[in-house]
Amino acid sequence: MAKSINFILLFSLLAFAPFCQIEGSLYPQFYEGSCPRVHDIVNSIVAKAFAKDPRMAASLLRLHFHDCFVKGCDASILLDSSGTIISEKRSNPNRDSARGFEVIDEIKSAIEKECPGTVSCADILALSARDSTVLTGGPNWEVPLGRRDSLGASIQGSNNNIPAPNNTFETILTKFKLKGLDIVDLVALSGSHTIGDSRCTSFRQRLYNQSGNGKADFTLDQNYAAKLRTQCPRSGGDQNLFVLDFVTPTKFDNNYFKNLLANKGLLSSDEILLTKNKVSADLVKKYAERNDIFFEQFAKSMIKMGNITPLTDSKGEIRKHCRKINK
Ligand code: HEM
């Protein structure tokens, strides 16, 4: 008798397992019943923004990263300063650099019209990052959903947790590990620098005084460095823009890794993936050789990054406007 009850229990567990969600976990069908058109709405507005300004895809992809590394993927990056909130938009990695906030606002307002109070700003960031990757020719993946939005921001977290372009390899890897990501994720996700731009101020040091000896970084191709110096002077021109991947600047592909092998990575944080660690150097070589393996790992690592300590269930809230918490 006990045996058959056990059997019935096991059978019903297995039969219903696909419909049960583990508390606190994200899943792609989260809005299937409550806002089935959410994917189309995000996709059409991201596509429109990309058509107007191709760099926007890169900017939206980066916003998701700069959101997740602070307090988890909770849209804290989108909050403006007000009351006790000091906006993360003012942090070193974001100031004069992070962009795309108006596109997120437009998506949020379209979604609020369709299904009010339902879709989080954090999920909009995750979907926009995926759509931006696909629009530029990169891999596709199903985005796990169900994140909720934070009730605050952390400018300290933004300053401390997001790697800086002049950080050492060890520091960058530590910052990834603190978020549950490993060396494979680090190399694959750095592949995001296959699209988008950097300001002169983010890599100037490499052109003039990499290690305090008044010399350019010797791991940077000297002809490439000379060319960069013409638009990125010793002083001034801080905001001048340079493509991160000079071969195919608006296409998501593995040329970023090929550039590293040719000593033509733009940021110090890019080139050190090849020069400072054997494991990461081997990954750079693998991704330079095999675009398919890069794409597959990129998708996996994006899902992993998107899972960094989300707020779920009754934690946080669904903001009405992404720039401010609800009253
Ligand atoms: C590994 C450590 C990383 C460092 C040190 C780093 C640093 C930077 C810097 C300095 C810029 C240029 C910013 C400017 O000058 O305005 C940049 C741009 C960018 N980063 Fe990273 N990044 C890292 C990882 C990532 C990751 C993990 C992603 C996405 C998953 C990402 C996506 C991007 C994109 C797409 C751009 C171009 C943005 C635009 O054109 O608006 N980065 N990054």
Give residue-wise pLDDT tens across range 68-83: 999 999 999 999 999 9
Ligand-binding annotation for 245, yes or no, is: yes
Instruction: Using the mean position of ligand 1's atoms as its centre, give its distance from the Cα of residue 15 in Å.
Output: 44
Q: Are residues 232 and 265 in the same domain?
A: yes
Among 161, 195, 222, residue at a domain's last position: 161
pLDDT at 9 over 60: no
pLDDT at 16 over 50: no
Strands of the chain, DSSP E: 197-199, 241-243
Q: What is the mean pLDDT of residues 291-298?
A: 98
Ligand-binding annotation for 39, yes or no, is: no
From the CB of 26, is ligand 1 less than 6 Å away? no
User: Above pLDDT 70, what percent of the chain?
Assistant: 93
Q: Are residues 124 and 186 in the same domain?
A: no
The one catalytic residue among 39, 64, 66, 321: 66
Among 116, 139, 161, residue at a domain's last position: 161
Within a domain: 320: no
Domain count, the chain: 2
Counting from 1 in the atom list of ligand 1, the atom nearest the Cα of 197 is 40
Within a domain: 243: yes
- Contact, 256 vs 246, CB < 8 A? no
Among 161, 181, 207, residue at a domain's last position: 161
- Does the active-site annotation cover 66? yes
pLDDT at 19 over 60: no
Within a domain: 79: yes
pLDDT at 18 over 50: no
Q: Are residues 126 and 214 in the same domain?
A: no
Q: Are residues 216 and 188 in the same domain?
A: yes
Instruction: Using the mean position of ligand 1's atoms as its centre, give its distance from the Cα of residue 261 in Å.
Output: 19
Tell me, what CATH number does 247's domain have?
Answer: 1.10.420.10
From the CB of 192, is ligand 1 less than 6 Å away? yes
Within a domain: 150: yes
In the prediction, which pLDDT does 148 show? 98
Instruction: Using the mean position of ligand 1's atoms as its centre, give its distance from the Cα of residue 198 in Å.
Output: 8
Q: Are residues 191 and 142 in the same domain?
A: no
pTM of the model: 0.94
Q: Are residues 187 and 262 in the same domain?
A: yes
- Contact, 302 vs 129, CB < 8 A? yes
Q: Are residues 87 and 212 in the same domain?
A: no
Among protein residues, the one whose CA lies closest to atom 41 of ligand 1: 59
Amino acid sitting at position 281: A
Among protein residues, the one whose CA lies closest to atom 25 of ligand 1: 190
**Tens digits of residue pLDDT in 41-52:** 999 999 999 999
pLDDT at 127 over 80: yes
Tell me, what CATH number does 53's domain have?
Answer: 1.10.520.10
Q: Are residues 298 and 180 in the same domain?
A: yes
Within a domain: 110: yes
Neighbours of 280 (CB within 10 A): 21
State which of 101, 192, 242 you would mutate to test the pocket of ligand 1, scoring each by most atoms of that ligand within 8 A of its C-beta. 192
Ligand-binding annotation for 185, yes or no, is: no
Question: Closest by alpha carbon to 187, among 98, 282, 259?
Answer: 282
Q: Are residues 157 and 236 in the same domain?
A: no
Q: Are residues 89 and 179 in the same domain?
A: no
Q: What is the mean pLDDT of residues 117-145?
A: 98
Within a domain: 317: no
pLDDT at 295 over 70: yes
Q: Are residues 264 and 211 in the same domain?
A: yes
pLDDT band at 21 (very low <50, low <70, confident <90, very high): low
Between 310 and 24, the more confident residue is 310
pLDDT band at 24 (very low <50, low <70, confident <90, very high): confident
The per-residue b/e assignment along 65-79, b for 16 or more CB within 10 angstroms, e otherwise, is bbbbbbbbbbbbbbb
Ligand-binding annotation for 313, yes or no, is: no
pLDDT at 225 over 90: yes
Within a domain: 106: yes
pLDDT band at 256 (very low <50, low <70, confident <90, very high): very high
Q: Are residues 154 and 87 in the same domain?
A: yes
Taken as a whole, the chain contains a residue count of 327
> What is the extent of the structural domain holding 151?
38-161
pLDDT at 22 over 90: no
From the CB of 245, is ligand 1 less than 6 Å away? no
pLDDT at 10 over 70: no
Q: Chain-wide mean pLDDT for the chain?
A: 94
Within a domain: 69: yes
